């Protein structure tokens, strides 16, 4: 009888199958294209189960589900299957007619009028390459307790039925999906010019959320919102109000608190919905099996990521009802030549004891040219180039101690070739080897992101892209040293190492508790902290440069002007800037066309923002100026026990980041601008150019080419690798 669980093994949350650890390498593939994965020795499979099985109130028809699952498992005698159940396709039409008050409501920002959310918005094509089609889906409100109750009952009935069938022992997990694109996104993310949700269910859910958040005390609510009111009088802010933040990119913590609260409520409501259906699955399982959900897309490529309701990840991580959290890797700078890192915060998920599943869905040489999905992604043109890209895409999972599924996204045989089978078999063998050793060190750099800060940012893409996606996927990606990606709340974890460099990517809001935690954890042991743009500008009472100074130890000034965030280097006499040239400029407005060259971003967002911040501190050393104001934009300040670096521009070049890392004492494995992933037992290098590069190790190691199983050096502190552009080396460090 098949059982599965996530348990710690050699320091890593690991998938256990019937009590034994197994490599968490899965194939997302339709029944017609399983051959390569079978040949590669893959035992775990997943795919969306087609068809409508929830046909009416307490009415179900599972014939199509049984037929599909029965056929699928019959084709893989040794395989196990994780059905993906998409609830958005269930109950469409009839459920909304029965419960009109429980359906999502979209309103126009300019007029406030209700919009027909099923009418495709042509602007979405610019972002996606295709229209958003909602007409055949159950557009329930995620705030709806009625939907949670009914969906949980429907899922429970489905799982109870399937777990009693002959194929039940072939099911290793259940994956619950809903929302836009099956990924628990809010339905209205791409409804530009409009905002949701204004349903009765949303209003009722918001008031319930306010009561929980403010301890059912109207005085606490009134203090937070800045005026007297009752819970019954609280309402979701009008669309025009939500569209007008008080401070340029930022909502005011008091004047705009209703908007901040409702956006947080949206994320919490989505997590409540996920937990309702996942808990129903857990209750119906006759034996222990793991449950999966998409969530936590902090590094989202969406134009209004703040509204996609993925910013309550900590609550999901604390729940026993979800064991695995999945996300595709980011769509910016991916594919051949590009970076690979997830949209979710994978290291935070691992440190919480859950398993992060990295969805590898890059097109290969075997993907038919008729597939138009994500044409901006660089698709390799040869078998050899595809194999090197696959090795690079697997490197993140191997280095981070997470999981992966190879995705034949359009069911067209993207991996249907013997060469793909060989590559996947070799990559699986590397993970099997790594599971036998202790993986405990994942880098000396912490890239820290704040989900709560996102609630204080206007739902626009520019600042989010600049501080996180463009920053990480183009620049930090090439620093030549591995780094962990963590939530700000993770800094309170007792198992965290003392990082040498903390990069506070978007810590624009910090509560009193956040500030105390940062003081206790980061400002010690000679650590270096890099702050960008507006660190700590907001707390729960105010928005001010005094808040910024209190957090960073650096004095600041501010102007209410709109401009690109660019910094010109003015001092190259410091270790941080010694490898740069006088007059070098970095930032959001520099060489923007590079982001449209393959591998590239799908579109370049507008990144001119307001307000502008600059350093104003006579005790800080000025290394560069903010070009828009000719005021200090890059400074460093030595403080007791730690060092503080501030950059007004969030898009620091990889050379500058590498110098900052060296200044912080971080070990640089590869200084040639290549991409690197690693831990104490493994290192991957993805060459960004032709030639010999020297890889340096912090202590003597035996280096084995993990892919080809060839020893490259013994007792070595450095290794020369002659690599071609976009070649991948996967190295075991013994």
Tens digits of residue pLDDT in 114-149: 999 999 888 888 888 788 999 999 999 999 999 999
At residue 121, the pLDDT reads: 85
Compute the half-sphere exposure of residue 243: CA atoms within 13 Å on the CB side of its CA.
14
CA gyration radius, the chain = 25
Tokens standing for residue 648 = 């007004």
At residue 347, the pLDDT reads: 98
Q: Which stretches within 40-133 are classed as H helix?
A: 63-75, 94-98, 123-128
Residues in contact with 235: Cβ distance below 8 Å, sequence separation at least 6, in sequence order: 203, 206, 258
At residue 123, the pLDDT reads: 86
Residues in contact with 369: Cβ distance below 8 Å, sequence separation at least 6, in sequence order: none
Is the Cβ–Cβ distance between 654 and 476 less than 8 Å?
yes
Strands 20-21 vs 691-705: parallel, antiparallel or unpaired:
unpaired
d(CA 234, CA 421): 58
For the stretch 46-50, contacts whose Cβ atoms lie closer than 8 Å and that sit 24 or more positions apart, written own/partner, are 46/81, 46/82, 46/83, 46/84, 46/173, 46/175, 46/405, 47/72, 47/81, 47/83, 47/84, 48/84, 48/86, 48/177, 48/182, 49/83, 49/84, 49/85, 49/86
At residue 377, the pLDDT reads: 87
Per-residue DSSP letter, 733: E
Residue (of 241, 249, 245, 226) closest to 508 by Cα position: 249
**Domain boundaries in the chain?**
25-96+134-188+259-434, 445-663, 687-733
DSSP string for 296-322: --TT---TTGGGSS---HHHHHT-TT-
User: Residues of the chain whose pLDDT is less than 70?
Assistant: none
- In CATH, which of 3.40.50.510, 3.20.20.370, 3.20.20.70, 3.40.50.880 is domain 445-663? 3.40.50.880
Tell me the CATH number for domain 25-96+134-188+259-434: 3.20.20.80
3-state secondary structure of 222: helix
| Angle formed at CA 585 by CA 581 and CA 591, multiple of 5 degrees | 125
d(CA 481, CA 673): 10
d(CA 189, CA 373): 19
Find the farthest-apart pair of alpha carbons in the chain and give their distance in angstroms, rounded.
75
What is the distance in angstroms between the CA of the first residue and the CA of the last residue of the chain?
38
């Amino acid at each position: 009888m098949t059982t599965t669980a996530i348990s710690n093994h050699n320091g890593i949350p690991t998938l256990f199958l019937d009590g034994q650890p197994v490599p968490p390498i899965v194939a997302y593939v339709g029944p017609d294209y399983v051959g390569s994965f079978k040949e590669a020795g893959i035992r775990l499979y997943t795919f969306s189960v087609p068809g409508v099985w929830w046909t009416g109130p307490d009415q179900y028809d599972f014939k199509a589900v049984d037929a599909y699952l029965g056929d699928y498992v019959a084709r893989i005698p040794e395989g196990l299957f994780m059905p993906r159940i998409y609830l958005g396709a269930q109950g469409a039409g009839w459920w909304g007619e029965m419960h009109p008050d429980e359906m999502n409501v979209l309103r126009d920002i300019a007029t406030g009028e209700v919009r027909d959310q099923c009418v495709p918005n042509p602007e979405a094509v610019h972002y996606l390459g295709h229209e958003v089609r909602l007409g055949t889906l159950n557009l329930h409100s995620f705030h709806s307790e009625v939907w949670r109750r009914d969906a949980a009952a429907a899922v429970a009935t489905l799982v109870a039925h399937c777990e009693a069938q002959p194929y039940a022992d072939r099911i290793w997990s259940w994956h619950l999906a809903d929302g836009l694109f099956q990924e628990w996104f809010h339905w209205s993310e791409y409804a530009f010019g409009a905002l949701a949700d204004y349903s009765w269910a949303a209003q009722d859910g918001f008031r319930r959320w306010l009561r929980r958040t403010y301890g059912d005390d109207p005085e606490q609510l009134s203090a937070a919102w800045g005026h007297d009111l009752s819970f019954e009088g609280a309402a979701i802010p009008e669309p025009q109000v939500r569209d007008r933040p008080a401070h340029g990119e930022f909502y005011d913590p008091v004047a705009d608190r209703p908007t901040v609260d409702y956006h947080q409520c949206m994320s919490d409501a989505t997590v409540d919905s996920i937990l309702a259906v996942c808990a129903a699955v857990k209750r119906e399982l006759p034996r222990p099996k793991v449950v999966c959900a998409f969530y936590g897309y902090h590094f989202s490529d969406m134009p209004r990521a703040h509204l996609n309701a993925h910013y309550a990840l900590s609550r999901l991580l604390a729940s026993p009802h979800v064991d695995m959290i999945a996300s595709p890797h980011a769509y910016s700078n991916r594919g051949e030549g590009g970076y690979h890192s997830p949209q979710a915060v994978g290291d935070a998920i691992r440190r919480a004891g859950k398993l992060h599943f990295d969805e590898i869905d890059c097109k290969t040489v075997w993907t038919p040219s008729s597939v138009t999905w994500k044409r901006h992604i660089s698709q390799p043109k040869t078998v050899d180039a595809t194999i090197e890209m696959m090795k690079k895409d697997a490197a993140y999972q191997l280095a981070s101690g997470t999981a992966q599924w190879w995705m034949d996204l359009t069911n067209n045989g993207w991996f249907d070739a013997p060469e793909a089978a060989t590559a996947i078999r070799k990559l699986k063998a590397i993970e099997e080897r790594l599971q036998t050793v202790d993986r405990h060190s994942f880098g000396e750099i912490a890239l820290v992101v704040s989900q709560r800060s996102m609630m204080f940012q206007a739902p626009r893409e520019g600042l989010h892209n600049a501080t996180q996606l463009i920053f990480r996927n183009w620049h930090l990606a090439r620093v030549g040293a591995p780094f962990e990606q963590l939530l700000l709340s993770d800094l309170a974890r007792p198992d965290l190492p003392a990082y040498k460099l903390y990069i506070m990517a978007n810590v624009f809001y910090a509560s009193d508790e956040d500030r105390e935690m940062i003081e206790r954890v980061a400002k010690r042991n000679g650590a270096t902290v890099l702050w960008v743009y507006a660190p700590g500008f907001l707390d729960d009472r105010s928005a001010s440069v005094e808040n910024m100074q209190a957090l960073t130890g650096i004095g600041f000034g501010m102007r209410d002007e709109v401009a690109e965030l660019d910094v010109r280097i003015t001092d190259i006499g410091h270790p941080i800037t010694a490898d740069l040239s006088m007059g070098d400029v970095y930032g959001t407005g520099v060489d923007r066309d590079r982001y449209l060259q393959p591998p590239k971003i799908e579109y370049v967002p507008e990144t001119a923002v307001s307000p502008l911040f600059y350093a104003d501190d006579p005790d800080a050393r000025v290394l560069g100026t903010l070009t828009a104001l000719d005021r200090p934009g890059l400074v460093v300040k030595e403080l007791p026990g730690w060092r503080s670096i501030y950059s007004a521009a969030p898009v620091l070049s990889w050379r500058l980041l590498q110098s900052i890392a060296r200044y912080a004492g971080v070990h640089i494995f590869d200084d040639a601008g290549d991409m690197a992933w690693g831990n104490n037992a493994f290192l991957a290098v993805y060459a960004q150019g032709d030639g010999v590069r020297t890889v340096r190790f912090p202590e003597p190691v035996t280096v084995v080419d993990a892919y080809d199983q060839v020893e490259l050096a013994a007792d070595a502190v450095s290794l020369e690798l002659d690599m071609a552009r976009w070649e991948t080396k996967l190295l075991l460090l013994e």
